[in-house]
Amino acid sequence: MNFVIENSKVIALENEKKIGFLSFEISDEELTILSTVVYPEARGKGVAKLLNIEIFEYARKLNIKKVKILCSYSQKYFLQNKNQYLDIETVLINSGEKDGCYI
């Protein structure tokens, strides 16, 4: 599996075919995770977890110190792995609406 970052998305590719993506925004030195989508044929293979690992590594690469998380899956991922991200201030945001995460 390969990952490409373009147009505010981390895109997961398998055999050059798009199998999922994580959308985000960057502003004022903060990164906001908006949604995670894994296509039905790729679900259950750990794609969403790997997309989240990629976005946190991308934040580190850009020296971003604050990540806001709207996506419910990404919030769950972070809570299970927060000890790996002690160097990044992380805020979980409850949007109160369907959050666009399809895992």
- Domains of the chain in start order, with CATH, are 2-92 (3.40.630.30)
Residue 98 in this model has a pLDDT that exceeds 60: no
Can you list the positions of beta strands (E) in the chain? 2-6, 9-14, 17-27, 30-38, 66-69, 89-92
> CB of 16 within 8 A of CB of 45?
no
* pLDDT tens, residue by residue, 22-53: 999 999 889 999 999 999 999 999 999 999 99
The tokens describing 66, both together, are: 């604050």
Give the model confidence (pLDDT) of 40-87 as tens digits: 999 999 999 999 999 999 999 999 999 999 999 999 999 999 999 999
